[in-house]
Structure 1
Amino acid sequence: MNTATVGALLTSIASQNILGENVLWHHEDQAIYWIDIEAALLQRYSLTDAAYSVFALPQRIGSFAFLQPGPQQDFQLIVAFAEGFALYNPQTKALKWLSQPEVQLAGHRFNDGRVNRQGEFWAGTMVENAAISDTQAALYRLDATGQAQPVLGSLCISNGLCWSLDGRTLYHADSPKHQIKQYPYDAATGTVGDAVLFADTPHNAHPDGSTIDAAGYLWNAHWGAGKVVRYRPDGSIDLELTLPVSQPSSVAIGGPNLDLLFITSSRLGLSEAQLAQQPLAGNLFIYQLHGVQGVLENHCDLSPQWLL
């Protein structure tokens, strides 16, 4: 019998993001990190002292992850900026470009990204302006040499990236198609097999950011429908959380006991009337979970020569 529930809303961080995304829990820091894509910001909220910090970035950002700590390391983050993959340090502003596979494609930018169970950073692109683009988006895997290798093509908005607990199944969504798909993943070759439908989402729900919990269930933000949904491993719905905002964008599970649910949201495209009805739009939400635990996020493990 399932006893998993989402408890009370503990707090809402008044970030008022235009497009909040890519929330991550950093266990060593005991802090939540997330981004505002449109405002080109990295944000941090400490659970220890409730301090909220904001770091300006050199350009819009699609996604990021933490680098595996090491000696003599100039960078802290692996980032999919709008124009491509780079190493970055938000304190010193040190920047090192690695790969820009779609920089020549007008109307494209990088979007959702994540580190897999093997420590590789993956990120996908999106067609932001179809009027000036005649090429579709793609999902990329950053290899050990710092180069982006295409994995999936023919996409509109790459989203919902996460992996099963054993790392053998890739979950991915092309948001406008209202589907979350799963793919067998071969870690030895870095390739994915044929897609299998995992879940359909309602017509008003665009599948956005996802995460996997310790039971192997998938959590997904339903952009437009104002919900976060937990799916069983067979793709059936286990529970739904209705939010006070219509555009939740990404989810993560963390906290000292790995039992807190973090959800980013967006104000993008909402009218004045909608914003009046959703005054918390753009905030980060923290809910208490019961009967659910998260798993620690993997850090990106690049070859040492790429970190200097």
Structure 2
Amino acid sequence: MSADIRVELPAGAPSPRAALLLDTKCTLGEGATWCAKTGRFYWTDIEGARLWRYDPSDGSSTSWPMTERLGTFALCADPDYLLLGLATHLAFFNPATGETQRIVDVEPGMNTRVNDGRCDRQGRFVFGTKDEGSPLQAVGGFYRLNHDLSLERLPLPAPAISNSIAFSPDGATMYYCDSPAREIRTCDYRADGSIANDRVFTALTDASGEPDGSAIDSDGGLWNAQWGGRRVVRYGPDGVETERVEVPTAQPSCVAFGGLPTGLPTGLPTGRPPARAELGTLYVTSARIGLDAAALADDPGAGGVFIATPARQGLPEPVFQGSPR
């Protein structure tokens, strides 16, 4: 399947404003993930129950239908597989064959679903859930899938909507949030998996927006997509905002650093050393869910993938080290 490709990054530099790259019109785009090994970008349309992949070398895109809503996923050390966080369970998925291997149910019997997730620096998959009820209640949890495929609940506050899971470059700090609380939290995260010193990292001060998906740059800064705020904000390791990127859509949802697509204006200043340019493009997913006809008319790129070129470098995404049985 292909999607419209519309790249209109301005000259001058580095870009403080994102531009529409892929007009995919995802209902709920999420899970921005760059595969450094293959040079491809992956994301999910949660409500569309579809996994997407974009190849910036030729502009092609591919998607796979899922048996359930796909809340999150991770790259695997085994290149034949991805780890899926489907609505009710975790599974391995082979994109080439369509084979799915169920691993474990998540919160069976509860009105919740799997939501945000990232691998820690040790290659374990850390993820959270969200409440499916109305009004939202903080009844979900944060979990870790270990290398041996055992699942454990982490001793963190229960979220209504888990998001912003990310890890510092040295792996010693974990970030996460409960989006409606409008703050991002952090904790000490030890190599043995133990957690301590849970605390507030930063609180949103803008009148609008909630923290959604995050990524870490090579300097240890956290880049957070802010749902309803039309922006991505970078916070330094001390929790202080250092810069932001305007996103021309109402609901940016997740971010990842990856490679520069082909077809950009010649000589586009990127503000980064050429040797590391493969992780200098910020990819931003977005959503259309909840927008009425009038809002969509004013927001034609909603549900698309956007890119910007900040003067920062990303880090290779850790991969899950467990294997299918």
Over the aligned positions, Cα root-mean-square deviation in angstroms equals 1.8
Residue from 5, 15, 21 that aligns with 1:12: 21
The residue that corresponds to 1:286 in the other structure is 307
Aligned-residue offset at 1:77: 0.7
Q: Deviations over 1:159-214 (max 9, x none)?
A: 000001110000001000000011001221x1211321111013521100000001
Question: Residues of 1 paired with 2:137 and 2:318: CA distance?
Answer: 35
| Alpha carbons 2:17, 2:246 under 8 Å: kept | no
The residue that corresponds to 2:59 in the other structure is 50
Aligned-residue offset at 1:233: 1.0
Aligned ranges for residues 145-160 of structure 1 at < 5 Å?
145-151=148-154, 152-160=156-164
Pair 1:307 & 2:324 matched: yes
Question: Residues of 2 paired with 1:62 and 1:44: CA distance?
Answer: 15
Q: Deviations over 1:117-163 (max 9, x none)?
A: 000011110002146x9871000001232122000242111100000
The residue that corresponds to 2:124 in the other structure is 120
Residue from 287, 298, 302 that aligns with 1:277: 298
The residue that corresponds to 1:191 in the other structure is 194
Question: Residues of 2 paired with 1:245 and 1:135: CA distance?
Answer: 28
Structure 1 segments of 4 or more deviating over 6 A?
none
* Partner SS for 2:38: coil
Which structure's residues are more often strand, by fraction?
1
* Partner SS for 1:53: strand
Identity of aligned residues (%): 35
Aligned residues: 294
Q: Which runs of 5+ in 2 are unaligned?
A: 1-12, 260-276
Question: Residues of 2 paired with 1:8 and 1:229: CA distance?
Answer: 12
| Alpha carbons 1:169, 1:184 under 8 Å: kept | yes
The residue that corresponds to 1:137 in the other structure is 140
Question: Residues of 2 paired with 1:177 and 1:9: CA distance?
Answer: 26
Question: Residues of 1 paired with 2:258 and 2:217: CA distance?
Answer: 10
Question: Residues of 2 paired with 1:275 and 1:242: CA distance?
Answer: 18
- Aligned AA (1:98): I
Pair 1:78 & 2:83 matched: yes
Q: Deviations over 1:212-260 (max 9, x none)?
A: 0011110000001111001111111111112110100000011152110
Q: Which runs of 5+ in 1 are unaligned?
A: none
Change (3 A) 1:10 1:203: closer
Aligned-residue offset at 1:104: 1.4
- Aligned AA (1:79): L
| Alpha carbons 2:285, 2:303 under 8 Å: kept | yes
* Partner SS for 1:257: helix
Question: Residues of 1 paired with 2:57 and 2:208: CA distance?
Answer: 37
Aligned ranges for residues 22-101 of structure 1 at < 5 Å?
22-69=31-78, 75-101=80-106
| Alpha carbons 1:79, 1:87 under 8 Å: kept | yes
Change (3 A) 1:134 1:284: closer
- Aligned AA (1:295): L
- Aligned AA (2:176): H
| Alpha carbons 1:253, 1:259 under 8 Å: kept | yes
* Partner SS for 1:146: coil
- Aligned AA (2:182): H
| Alpha carbons 1:80, 1:86 under 8 Å: kept | yes
Question: Residues of 1 paired with 2:149 and 2:93: CA distance?
Answer: 13
The residue that corresponds to 1:263 in the other structure is 284
Question: Residues of 2 paired with 1:53 and 1:140: CA distance?
Answer: 30
| Alpha carbons 2:283, 2:307 under 8 Å: kept | yes
More deviation in 239-248 or 86-95? 86-95
The residue that corresponds to 2:272 in the other structure is none
Question: Residues of 2 paired with 1:6 and 1:118: CA distance?
Answer: 33
* Partner SS for 1:162: strand
* Partner SS for 1:274: helix
Aligned-residue offset at 1:27: 1.6
Residue from 102, 109, 114 that aligns with 1:110: 114
Change (3 A) 1:10 1:127: closer
| TM-score normalised by L of structure 2 | 0.86
